[in-house]
Amino acid sequence: MTEPEHPAPEQPDLMPELGRARETARAAKQRSEQQRAKAAAKPPLDPAAVDPVAEVLVDVPLAHLDRPFDYLVPAKMSGDAVPGARVKVRFAGQDVDGFVLRRKAASSHEGRLAPLRRAVSSEAVLSAEVAALSAFVAARYAGTRSDVLRLAVPTRHATVEKEPSTPAPPRHVDVEAAEKVWSPYTGGTAFVRHLAEGNRPRAVWSASPGEDWPAAIAQAAAATYSSGRGVIVCVPDHRDVARVSAALRAVLGEGHHVELTADKGPSERYRSFLALSRGAVKVAVGTRAAAFAPVHDLGLVVVWDDGDDLLAELHAPYPHTREVLVQRAYQESCGALVAGFARTAEAQLLVQSGWARQIVAPRDLVRERGALVSITGATDRELERDPMARQARLPGSAFEAIRAGLHQGPVLLQTPRHGYAASLACDRCRGPARCRACAGPLRVNAAHRPPSCAWCGQEEPTWVCPTCGGRGLRAPVRGDARTAEELGRSFPSFGVRTSSGERVLDEVPDKPALVVATPGAEPVAAGGYSCVVLLDTWLMLARTDLRATEESLRRWMNAAALARPASAGGRVVVVGESTEPVLQALLRWDPEGFASRELGERESAHLPPASRLATLSGSDQALTAALAMLELPPAAEVLGPVPVDAPPGRPDPDGPQARLVVRVPRSEGAALSRALVELQGVRAAKKLDPVRVQVDPVTLG
DNA sequence: ATGACCAATTGA
DNA sequence: CAATTGGTCATG
């Protein structure tokens, strides 16, 4: 703009339709002259009679602007600019979107208030509860509210907004049926009864093998619903949404719940969202974004399989569904259920801190429902000795189990995905090699240097395995996963079906077939698998990630849970090292014991959830500057910075990138988050190079 | 981000 | 001495 004078701040806000209609066709200079002429003749603003001030959260990505700003509400917008409504406002010289947080009689702002530019609609899409939740999540993950709101509130669809929402029909819920489904579990009946009575029980549930968990969750939802309250169920993927949705339909009938998934299209998504925000429907099932669903009178939040990394949001500030729901249960005083076949260290902490009770399967129930689990060795020597194993690259006993299983029904083979980034491992016991200083994974960076830690960079020239005393290190072979075709050739008379990556099967029929699946893509078998084989377990354990062990057990339990009970001939064959404690936990079906040990190990290694950990990534200079600026809590540890590789196929756009790890004891977690918010605010205000902050990242390799 | 403002730096 | 550049500050 060449104009020497700048328009007064209130000037453009009174531009009526005429100026806007011409905007595109006009040259910039001509337009601004037109504006000046209009401004001179501007009519006085007519503010709303009641509560003429709106507190607006503006949608700007800058950390230091993450706070409400007051605007004047013109009388004609007063009816629409209700709390929770979308508005457009003039902010720092541009039109931006915003949400009305609340209306009030006066502002404490000294200067003149600009009027709202437009009330987009009167639909209250941001409830007070979700606004408060978003503020917490932003603070916890050192992000901005506008980033969180982008996850919480779907894009508007004007046509859908004009439709009325269909209210759920009246419904009687059979609470006894719900109690019956939960009664085999210790603590199960009490949990459901509390929900039905309008209380707020919180529990961590370890489902028994073979459990029809969608049905059980639907019953818990129904019990809550019978008390007049709403429910949110979050699951990892859309296959699970479909299963829980079907179970809810079976228990509650049509029209009592909505599905919230990204893959249903913007209009359907907004329609479901509005049904909830308008209170027409009070039960929601969906993927991670459903944790923010505006369900009225929330009585229960549920997350299934909280260890699944799909529940960690992919967009800034990367909140985890379990953490969002736990906070929500706290803020909205409702019940909570953190559930899965396996148990995460985070869920264990909820139990050990007394926040949640546990609901567990008694040993008898596990014996009654579980398959017979056996571990078969797969060391190189054993494989070499066994001719059958050499041919199929499979131990003989596993080969036999598959053959026998195929005569009884479908057989599932779980094979790790190709290309895990593997850290160094002990060459004797295959346990992952960890840094003695910070428990990070060891790796080899340069040919003639000793191995060093991927987190703190410390070199380990004289590593000794803490488990077996071995001194040798080996790099596990990457992606040594056999293919479906290979295995199919070993069993030529049976059909082979694969489920992985792009092609994921939901279900397989109850007849002999070999089903090869990658973790997370296992189809459900109608009558249960006669045999489940877990291949290359040591490969999965060799991943560099801090959650490698927990994640491995979770994947194995999820697959093993799909087998028939032992009484019906169900078998689970695990190919791996039988002395490995995590395989013992699988053998004994002991998710609680494993999670308890895992939490203990995380405590001694100062890893989440015992510690709060944040990674900062960016250029070397940016990290150095950020570290100098960061006011860390007293007990903070700083690891690194270490250089990080650019993602494969995409060279560094802004020069070499590095990563810094900061961690504090859990008690100082909030202080660390505050310090990081402060840092991001200062850096954004000074327009410094971006530093990406991730609090409690779900993976750290 | 965008824009405004002030101070320091540069060039004829 | 004016013009330009850079840092700081506020955004209602």
Cα A451 to Cα A207, A329, A432, A463, distances in angstroms: 41, 45, 13, 9
Return the pLDDT at A483.
57
Q: How confident is the model at residue A79 (pLDDT cuts 50, 70, 90)?
A: very high
Stretch A249-254: mean pLDDT: 96
Stretch A207-233: mean pLDDT: 98
Angle of CA points A585, A590, A596, to nearest 5°: 90
Return the pLDDT at A653.
59
Give A666 CA → C12 C1' in Å: 38
Pairing mode of beta strands A202-206, A335-340 = parallel
Return the pLDDT at A17.
30
Q: How confident is the model at residue A584 (pLDDT cuts 50, 70, 90)?
A: very high
Q: What percent of chain A has pLDDT over 70?
A: 86
Q: Is the pLDDT of residue A34 over 50?
A: no
CA proximity to A552, closest of A514, A584, A508: A584
By C1' distance from the Cα of A71, the closest nucleotide is C12
The per-residue pLDDT for range A135-177, each reduced to its tens digit, is 999 999 999 999 999 999 999 999 999 999 999 998 889 999 9
CA proximity to A217, closest of A327, A336, A356, A325: A336
DSSP letter for each residue of A173-205: --HHHHHHHHTTSBTHHHHHHHHHTT---EEEE
Choose between A92 and A82: higher pLDDT.
A82
Return the pLDDT at A11.
28
- Proximity of residue A68 CB to strand C below 7 A: yes
Choose between A173 and A479: higher pLDDT.
A173
Return the pLDDT at A206.
98
Q: Is the pLDDT of residue A478 over 60?
A: no
Instruction: Indicate the helix (H) or strand (E) that contains A685.
Output: helix A669-685
Angle of CA points A434, A343, A314, to nearest 5°: 75
Q: How confident is the model at residue A264 (pLDDT cuts 50, 70, 90)?
A: confident
Give A354 CA → C2 C1' in Å: 72
Cα A349 to Cα A355, A357, A431, A436, distances in angstroms: 8, 11, 25, 25
For residue A5, count CB atoms less than 10 angstroms from its CB and return exposed for 0-12, middle for 13-18, buried for 19 or more: exposed
Q: Is the pLDDT of residue A39 over 70?
A: no
- Most distant CA pair in chain A, distance: 95
Range in A310-319, A370-379, A432-441 the model is least confident about: A432-441
Q: How confident is the model at residue A93 (pLDDT cuts 50, 70, 90)?
A: confident
Stretch A209-237: mean pLDDT: 97
Return the pLDDT at A388.
53
Stretch A501-509: mean pLDDT: 86
Residues 630-689 of chain A sitting with CB below 7 angstroms of strand C = 685-687
- The answer for residues whose C-beta is within 8 angstroms of residue A483's C-beta and 6 or more apart is none
Q: CB neighbours (10 Å) of residue A448? A: 4
Return the pLDDT at A244.
98
Give A687 CA → C7 C1' in Å: 11
CA proximity to A283, closest of A238, A236, A248, A311: A248
Return the pLDDT at A485.
61
Give the integer Cα–Cα distance in Å for A520 and A559: 8
The per-residue pLDDT for range A195-204, each reduced to its tens digit, is 999 999 999 9
Give A684 CA → B1 C1' in Å: 10
By C1' distance from the Cα of A56, the closest nucleotide is C12
Give A687 CA → C11 C1' in Å: 15
Cα A480 to Cα A187, A341, A536, A537, A539, distances in angstroms: 43, 27, 8, 11, 8
Q: Is the pLDDT of residue A330 over 50?
A: yes
Q: What is the DSSP-derived secondary structure letter of residue A646? A: P
Give the integer Cα–Cα distance in Å for A303 and A307: 10
CA proximity to A694, closest of A657, A653, A663: A663
Give A570 CA → B2 C1' in Å: 66
CA proximity to A589, closest of A407, A403, A373: A373
By C1' distance from the Cα of A13, the closest nucleotide is C12
CA proximity to A680, closest of A57, A67, A66: A66
By C1' distance from the Cα of A116, the closest nucleotide is C12
Judge whether A609 and A599 are in contact, CB under 8 Å. yes
- The answer for residues whose C-beta is within 8 angstroms of residue A95's C-beta and 6 or more apart is A88, A89, A117
Give the integer Cα–Cα distance in Å for A240 and A255: 19
What type of residue sits at position A505?
Answer: L
CA proximity to A253, closest of A178, A172, A196: A172
By C1' distance from the Cα of A60, the closest nucleotide is B1
Q: Is the pLDDT of residue A294 over 70?
A: yes
Give the integer Cα–Cα distance in Å for A99 and A118: 11
Distance, CA of A277 to chain centre: 22
Give the integer Cα–Cα distance in Å for A53 and A70: 6
Q: What percent of chain A has pLDDT over 90?
A: 65
Instruction: Indicate the helix (H) or strand (E) that contains A257.
Output: strand A257-260
By C1' distance from the Cα of A65, the closest nucleotide is C11
Buried b (16+ CB within 10 A) or exposed e, A276-285: bbeebbbbbb
Cα A100 to Cα A81, A106, A139, distances in angstroms: 7, 15, 20
Q: Is A306 helix (H, G, I), strand (E, B) or coil?
A: coil
- Proximity of residue A91 CB to strand C below 7 A: yes
Which residue is nearest nucleotide C10, judged by alpha carbon to C1' distance?
A92
Angle of CA points A161, A152, A50, to nearest 5°: 60
Q: What's chain A's average pLDDT? A: 86
Q: How confident is the model at residue A450 (pLDDT cuts 50, 70, 90)?
A: confident
| Beta-bridge mates of residue A445 | none
Q: How confident is the model at residue A387 (pLDDT cuts 50, 70, 90)?
A: low
Q: How confident is the model at residue A384 (pLDDT cuts 50, 70, 90)?
A: low
Give A8 CA → C2 C1' in Å: 27
Residues 95-114 of chain A sitting with CB below 7 angstroms of strand C = 107-109, 111-114
Give the integer Cα–Cα distance in Å for A259 and A188: 26
Give the integer Cα–Cα distance in Å for A15 and A90: 12
Q: Is the pLDDT of residue A645 over 80?
A: no
- The answer for residues whose C-beta is within 8 angstroms of residue A126's C-beta and 6 or more apart is A83, A84, A85, A99, A101, A149, A152, A153, A294
Rg of chain A over all Cα atoms, to the nearest angstrom: 28
By C1' distance from the Cα of A55, the closest nucleotide is C12
Stretch A33-62: mean pLDDT: 73
Q: What is the DSSP-derived secondary structure letter of residue A211? A: -
Return the pLDDT at A390.
53
The model's pTM: 0.87
- Proximity of residue A65 CB to strand C below 7 A: yes
A670: left (phi over 0), alpha (psi -120 to 50) or beta: alpha
Find the length of chain A.
Answer: 701
